[in-house]
Amino acid sequence: MTIPKLLTHPAAGFGSAALLLFAAAPLLLTDFRLGLLAKYLCIAIVAVGICLAWGRGGLLTLGQGLFFGLGGYAMAMHLKLADAGPGELPDFMVLYGATGELPWWWRPFESPLFALAATVLLPMAVAAVIGTLVFRRRVKGAYFAILSQALAAAFALWLIGRQATTGGTNGLTDIQGFFGYDLNDPVNQRTVYFVIAAALLAVAAGVRQLIHSRYGELLVAVRDSEERVRFLGYDPARVKLVAYVVAAGAAGLAGALFVPAVGIISPALIGIVPSIEFVIGAAVGGRASLVGAILGAIAVMWAKTTLSEEFPGAWTYFQGLLFVVALAFLPGGLASLVRKARERRSAAPDDAEDVPGAGADAAPAPVPASAKKPEGVTA
Amino acid sequence: MTVILGQSFTGISIGAVLLLIALGLSLTFGQMGVINMAHGEFIMAGAYTTYVLQKALGDAGLSLLLALPVAFAVAGTLGALLEWLLIRRLYLRPLDTLLVTWGVSLMLQQLARDVFGAPNVQTRAPELLTGNVTLIGGDDPLTVANSRLFILGLALAAVAALALVLALTPLGRRIRAVVQNRDLAEVSGISTARVDRTAFFVGSGLAGVAGVALTLVGPIGPTMGTNIIIDAFLVVVVGGLGRLKGTVITAFVLGVLQAVLEYSTTVSVAKVLVLVGIVAFLQWRPQGLYTLRTRSLV
C-alpha cells in the first residue's frame, strides 16, 4: 500500500497538475465551463500568494483586492486604449463627456510593455511601500489585517469617486481585444485559459521554491515567534516584507489575467467583500499548504457558481458556514485532514512488511508491527 | 466663519455616530482583544429592532425610547450567544476569530435579507427630533438638526455610563482585572469566562444602541453595518486599546477631519486622505494614542 517514492515527489504532482490543466480540462469541458475554470484559476493565483503571506508568514492580508485591482486596472487600461485605437479616447470617457486629452496617468498605458510590467510591478511597489511603513513600526496581527482591509476599501472608493477617468462603479467593461486577438473568438478564449493555467503553475512553482528555501524556514519562524527571530539577529520586518510583496505580485498578475478571461474589472471585484473571499479558499483548503490553498480556492469558487446558480440565498449561508467551520474547527483546512490520514497510514504497522529492504523507513520495531497486523488490515 | 463652524459640527456629529459604534468595540476589541466582524450586524439588529417596534406600536417617540433598552438586550444576547458558541474557543487565535465572525456576519446579513427583504427600510423620526435648532442667528445662520444633537447626547451618555460601570461597579472592577492580567485574575477567584461573556454582552448591546441611533440619520438595510465597521475599528486602533479616552478623542478627531476634508475635496478623496493620515499616525505611535502600559513583549 505504500506509494512509490516517484509518485509522491513534488515534480510528479506538478506534472499531473499540468496534465490535468492542459490536456484533461480542455478536452472534457465545454467552452463556457473552461471560461469559468480560467476565472477560478485566477483566484487560485491570488490564493498562492495568500498561502505564502498568511499560511507561512502569519500575515492575514484582507486587502489583496487592492493588488488584484491594480493589476487588473493596469491591464484593462491598456486593453481599452488598444480597443479605442491610437489617439482615441476609451469609449466610456467619451460617454462621460471627455473631449481631447487623455489624463496623464493613462498615457503610459498606451505602451503594451509598460502595461504588462505594471500589472505585476505596480502592486509590488505599492506593497513594498505599505509593507515597509507598517512592518517596520511592528504593526502586526489583527491591526495589520484591519489596515490592509481599509486600504482595499479606500482604493475601491477612490475608483468609484473618479468616474470620468476610471469608469466609476461600472469599472472598465466590454473589453474586446487582447494584444491584437479578438476575445470574442472561442479559440482565443482557450488561449487565454492556457496562459492563465501556465501562469498558475509558474507562480505555484516559484512560491514552492521560496517556501522550501532557507527564507521559507525563516518566514515560518517569524510567524511562530517574531521576538525570538529578532533576538537571533534577523530583521522580521524584512522577512515579512518579502512575503507581502510576492503575494501582492501574484495578486496583481491574477488581476491582469482576470481581465481578458472575464472581460471586466470593477470596484465590486476588489473591495472589502471580494478581498475576504480571496482568503476563504485558502482557509478551507489549508492555508499553509500550497496544494491545499490552490484546490481550496478552485473548489470554493466552483461551489459559489454552482450554488448561486441554483439557490442564490443559500450560497451566502454556505459561505458563512464555511468560514465558521473551516476556521473554528479545522484551522489547518482540508490539507490537515489529508496530512493526518497520511501520517496515520505511515504510522500503521503493516508498512514494515510491504517494503522489504527499503532502508531506514522499514527498520524500526518489526515485532509489535506484526502483532498488531489484524487491526491494520481491517481498518 | 459659520461655514467652518457648520462643517465642524457636521464632523462632530459624524464623530458621535462613530463613537457610539466604536464604544462597543472598545470593550470587545480594546479590552478583550477579540475582533468581532459581526459587530456591524449587531448594529443592524438594533436598527431592525427599532423598525419592528415602530411597526408594532405606531408611535415614533415611544417606540424609539423603548427601542433603546430592547435593542441593547437583543444585540447583547446575540453577542453573548456568539461568545459562548464560537469566540470562547478562539481566544488564542485572534486572526481566526476575525474570519469566523466575518462568516457569522455573512449569515446574519442573509438572515436579515430573508426576514425583512433586501431593499432598505426606513423609520419615522419622532416629531421632537425632526426640526432644527438655530445655534447662531442673523444673516448667516448656523442650524443643527435635532436628531444629530440627540445622537451626540446619546453617545456622551453611553460613554459616561460605560466609564462609570468600568470604574465603580464590581463588574467593572472584574473586567479591568481580567484585562490587565488574566491569569492573576483567574487565580484570585474571578470567573474569567463569565466576565468575558458579560463584557461581550455589554459591548454588543452598545452596538444595538448605536443601531437605534443610526435609524435617525439613514436607511436600515442588511449591509448597513459592513461599511461603517471598518471606520469604527480604525477608531479603536488609533485611539489605543484598552482606553476609553483614546476612543472618544479619536472618534471626534476623525469625524471632524473627515467633514473638513469632504468640504474641501470630495467624499472619496477625504476617505482616502483620512486613511493615509491614519497610516502616517501609526508610524509615529504604533500603539495608538493612549495605551495600557504592560511589560509584555508582544
- Three-class DSSP category at A240: helix
Average pLDDT of the segment spanning A297-312: 86
For residue B133, list its beta bridge partners.
Answer: B144
Band (pLDDT 50/70/90 cuts) for residue A375 is: very low
Q: How far apart are CA A182 and CA B244, in angstroms?
A: 59
Q: Is the pLDDT of residue A363 over 60?
A: no
Q: Is the pLDDT of residue A213 over 90?
A: yes
Q: Do B86 and A321 touch (CB under 8 A)?
A: no
Q: What is the pLDDT of residues A162-204, one digit of tens each?
A: 888 888 888 888 888 888 788 888 888 888 999 999 999 999 9
Q: Is the pLDDT of residue A133 over 50?
A: yes
Q: Is the pLDDT of residue A1 over 80?
A: no
Q: Is the pLDDT of residue A365 over 80?
A: no
The reported pLDDT for the residue numbered A189 is: 86
Residue B207 lies in a domain: yes
Which residue bears the cell 511592528? A138
Q: Rounded to 10 degrees, what is the CA torsion of B16, B22, B26, B30? A: -130
Domain boundaries, chain A: 21-322, 332-355+365-379
Q: Which residues of B fall within a CB distance of 8 Å from A275?
A: none
Residue B76 lies in a domain: yes
Contact B36, B87 (CB under 8 A): yes
- Three-class DSSP category at B74: helix
Out of A130, A283, A313, whose CB is closest to B114? A313
ipTM score here? 0.80
Q: Is the pLDDT of residue A214 over 90?
A: yes
Q: Which residue of B has its CA nearest to A59?
A: B95
Q: Do B107 and A321 touch (CB under 8 A)?
A: yes
Q: How far apart are CA B268 and CA A267, in angstroms?
A: 13
Residues sharing a CB contact under 8 Å with residue B9, sequence separation 6 or more, in sequence order: B135, B142, B144, B148
Helices A186-211 and A236-262, packing angle to 10 deg? 170
Percentages of chain A per state (helix, strand, coil), in multiples of 5:
75, 0, 20
Q: Which residue of A has its CA nearest to B94?
A: A142
For residue B144, give its domain range: 16-225
Instruction: Tell me if chain B has a CB within 8 Å of the CB of A227.
Output: yes
Residue B186 lies in a domain: yes
Instruction: Tell me if chain A has a CB within 8 Å of the CB of B168.
Output: no
Q: Which residues of B fall within a CB distance of 8 Å from A151?
A: 275
Instruction: Tell me if chain B has a CB within 8 Å of the CB of A323.
Output: yes
Q: Which whole-number Å values give the CA distances from A209 to A254, B162, B218, in the listed order?
A: 19, 53, 52
The reported pLDDT for the residue numbered A362 is: 37
Which residue bears the cell 500550497? A290
When divided into structural domains, chain B yields a total of 1
One DSSP character per residue, A291-347 reads: HHHHHHHHHHHHHHHHHHHH-HHHHHHHHHHHHHIIIII-TTHHHHHHHHHHHHHHH
Q: How many CB pairs under 8 A join A and B?
A: 113
Give me the residues of chain B with pLDDT under 70, please.
1, 137-140, 291-298
Instruction: Tell me if chain B has a CB within 8 Å of the CB of A276.
Output: yes
For a pLDDT cut of 70, what percent of chain A falls above it? 89
Mean pLDDT score across all residues of chain A: 83
Contact B24, B205 (CB under 8 A): yes
Out of A142, A161, A273, whose CB is closest to B266? A161
Q: Do B283 and A137 touch (CB under 8 A)?
A: yes
Instruction: Tell me if chain A has a CB within 8 Å of the CB of B228.
Output: no
The reported pLDDT for the residue numbered A376 is: 34
Residue B290 lies in a domain: no
Q: Do A320 and B104 touch (CB under 8 A)?
A: yes
Q: Do B275 and A150 touch (CB under 8 A)?
A: yes
Q: Which residues of B fall within a CB distance of 8 Å from A327?
A: 96, 99-100, 103
Q: Is A215 exposed, middle or buried (0-12, 13-18, 19+ CB in 10 A)?
A: middle
The reported pLDDT for the residue numbered A205 is: 93
Cell of A307: 450554488
Instruction: Tell me if chain A has a CB within 8 Å of the CB of B88.
Output: no
Band (pLDDT 50/70/90 cuts) for residue A360 is: very low
Average pLDDT of the segment spanning A315-334: 85
Residue B106 lies in a domain: yes
Band (pLDDT 50/70/90 cuts) for residue A32 is: confident
- Three-class DSSP category at B215: coil
The reported pLDDT for the residue numbered A46 is: 96
